[in-house]
């Protein structure tokens, strides 16, 4: 079978998109540490005092961007930096896919 240039380009885009997609099942396994804070309804951190955000239903792209920011230091939070420091890009995608799989709950 002979593929044309446009067909090859489309095939490349599909393959690239699939590689960037997260595995929600693996994300579920990785999320154990996250649930200690983010899995408690209405949880507030003691110092500094703030409401810990709910991650279930959050957009995957937002979660990945936040984790990358904690990892590279552009978002400051010592605990989150420590959690994100060892995550690979694929780990972040997998975690994001898991949390994005939940229905969005407002407040």
Span 54-104, pLDDT tens digits: 899 999 999 999 999 999 999 999 999 999 999 999 999 999 999 999 988
pLDDT class for 42, splitting at 50, 70, 90?
Answer: confident
Burial 42-54 (b: 16+ CB within 10 A, else e): eeeeeeeeeeeeb
| Nearest alpha carbon to residue 97 among 33, 28, 16, 39 | 28
Q: Which of 50, 60, 53, 52 is nearest to 95 (CA)?
A: 60
pTM equals 0.76
Spell out the domains of the chain, with CATH numbers in brackets: 23-100 (1.10.760.10)
Percent of the chain with pLDDT over 70: 79
d(CA 38, CA 104): 14
What is the pLDDT confidence band of residue 44, given thresholds at 50, 70 and 90? confident
Per-residue pLDDT, averaged over 23-31, amounts to 97
Higher pLDDT: 70 or 48? It is 70
């Amino acid at each position: 079978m002979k593929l044309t240039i446009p067909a090859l380009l489309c095939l490349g885009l599909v393959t690239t998109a699939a590689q960037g997609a997260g595995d929600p099942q693996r994300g579920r396994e990785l999320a154990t540490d996250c649930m200690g804070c983010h899995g408690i309804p209405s949880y507030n951190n003691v110092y500094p005092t703030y409401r810990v955000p709910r991650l279930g239903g959050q957009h995957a792209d937002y979660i990945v961007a936040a984790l990358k920011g904690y990892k590279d230091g552009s978002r400051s939070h010592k605990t989150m930096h420590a959690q994100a420091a060892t995550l690979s890009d694929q780990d972040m995608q997998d975690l994001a896919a898991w949390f994005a799989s939940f229905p969005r709950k407002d407040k």
